Amino acid sequence: MASLTQNQEQHRTLFLDQIKAIMIALVIASHTVLLAGLSSAGVGQLIKDAPLFAAVNLWFVWVCNTFFMNILFLISGYLLPASIQKKGLKYFVKYRLIRLGIPLILSILVINNILPLGGLLIPDSTTFGLPIANLPLHRIGPQWFLLVLLFFNAIYCLWVWHRKTKFSINQKIPFPNWRAWFISAIILGMAEMGMSHFSNFWISLKETNLDGLGYQGMHLWTYGFLFAFGCKAASHHWLERISQRLAIRWFQASLLISFMFLAILITTVQGGDIEVVLQQAWPTLSASIPFVGWGYMAIALYWTQHHEHVGGAWLAEAGKDGFGAYLIHMPILYGSFMSLHRSGLTNIWILSLSASILAIILSFWGSHQLRTIPAIRRII
């Protein structure tokens, strides 16, 4: 058994915070076109008039969706056992309810209502002129992550309370080999396909206040597995001991599959109806999400901890601001996109890239400023 030295703890936190910053930035970027297209009739038409852009954006969102939320759940699980050990179970439960519960409530009651209410004043908005009773208010939106994380935390805390065992580190147990990776990817891929194609439950959730959970519900088995794996991995420092050879080989396979999908999308755009092809290919794409995601997660974990000097302390500090950036990014993203659009920028490629970069900067900056307030810093 072993415990972390101060230098090991700083190293461990540094590369994980760097990953969090990168993942949150990708979340914001992946929401750019989706949010603007759904919220603005004019932008929606720009996207329809640029089928190649729509195909590449769809590919980008799909690739990101294979790993960015997955790795955030993995890291959340990885940091959990030591946090409970340090704070004590009773205090940790109180701390977690404050840190996740308050932002969730504020998002549903305030933050997520900014866009539909603001749309009443914007003629191009899809909510312009609607009666308030018909507005999509009090939706969970992207804060579905907080609800699911609360649920996973509650399960683990109950397990710790029942087992009454203390967290300890045993590095004698080796990192899981490629067979374990492959088997888990196959099983979870089947679960992803089943949840997304053989059940109408998640489709029906999209029309309720739990809309965000409806869009992510088919991934819950994968999220739960990675959260639990993170908790287990913490006891053996597996993330710090990930195999270079395994990470690179799996990453190469993920790249190959990803670019094969991109080639299919581009070919489809030039020769036919992309929606028909997607309907036919979606079961396969769903089943391949864990397999592709493992490679991207592995290379992110391996590369950042062996090249953490590239991002340095500033990127790790941005990771600490990532939670707040995630909470506030939707209205900032919409404002950035529409401001650039109204300024005369109509090239959808340049518009989307510029809006993404601007929103990422403003979201992290806004979160950093909010965290200078002690009361808010306790929450985000």
Q: Is residue 108 over pLDDT 80? A: yes
pLDDT of residue 1: 43
Taking Cα atoms as reference points, which of 97, 21, 24, 1 lies closest to residue 333? 24
Of 69-73, 117-121, 199-203, 305-309, the poorest mean pLDDT is in 199-203
Nearest to 287 by CA among 183, 178, 196: 196
User: Residue 151's pLDDT is what?
Assistant: 96
Of 81-95, 147-161, 263-277, the least confident: 263-277
Nearest Cα to Cα of residue 291 among 181, 194, 193, 195: 181
> Alpha-carbon distance 198 to 247, whole Å?
32
Q: d(Cα 22, Cα 363) in Å, to the nearest integer?
A: 13
CA atoms lying within 13 Å on the CB side of residue 176: 15
pLDDT of residue 330: 92
Instruction: Quote the pLDDT of residue 10.
Output: 54
Q: How far apart are CA 94 and CA 199, in angstroms?
A: 36
How many residues does this entry show for the chain? 380
CA separation for the pair 294, 45 (Å, rounded): 36
Residue linked to tokens 């990885």: 78
Contact 3, 300 (CB under 8 A): no
Strand-pair partners of 320: none
Res 9 pLDDT > 70: no
Give the pLDDT band (50/70/90) at residue 171: confident
pLDDT confidence band for 7 (50 / 70 / 90) = low
pLDDT class for 102, splitting at 50, 70, 90?
A: very high
Highest mean pLDDT out of 70-84, 266-280, 299-313: 70-84
- The Cα 109–Cα 104 span in angstroms is 9
Q: What is the pLDDT of residue 216?
A: 86
Res 114 pLDDT > 80? yes
- What is the pLDDT, as a whole number, of residue 30? 94
**In 220-231, which positions are buried (b, 16+ CB within 10 angstroms) versus exposed (e)?**
bbbbbbbbbbbb
Res 200 pLDDT > 80: no
Residue range 327-361, pLDDT digits in tens: 999 999 989 998 998 898 889 999 999 999 999 99
Task: Say if residue 287's pLDDT is above 60.
Answer: yes
Mean predicted confidence (pLDDT) in 179-191: 94
CA distance 229 to 236: 11
For position 43, what pLDDT does the model report? 81
In the chain, the percentage of residues whose pLDDT exceeds 70 is 92
For the chain, give every domain's residue range.
6-377
Q: Residue 213, SS3?
A: helix
pLDDT confidence of residue 38: 67
CA dihedral 314, 318, 321, 323 (to 10 degrees): -150
For the segment 207-257, what is each residue's pLDDT rounded down to a tens digit? 788 887 878 888 999 999 999 999 999 999 999 999 899 999 999 999 999
Give residue 2's pLDDT: 46
Q: What is the pLDDT of residues 128-144, one digit of tens each?
A: 778 887 788 888 989 99
State yes or no: pLDDT of 109 exceeds 50.
yes
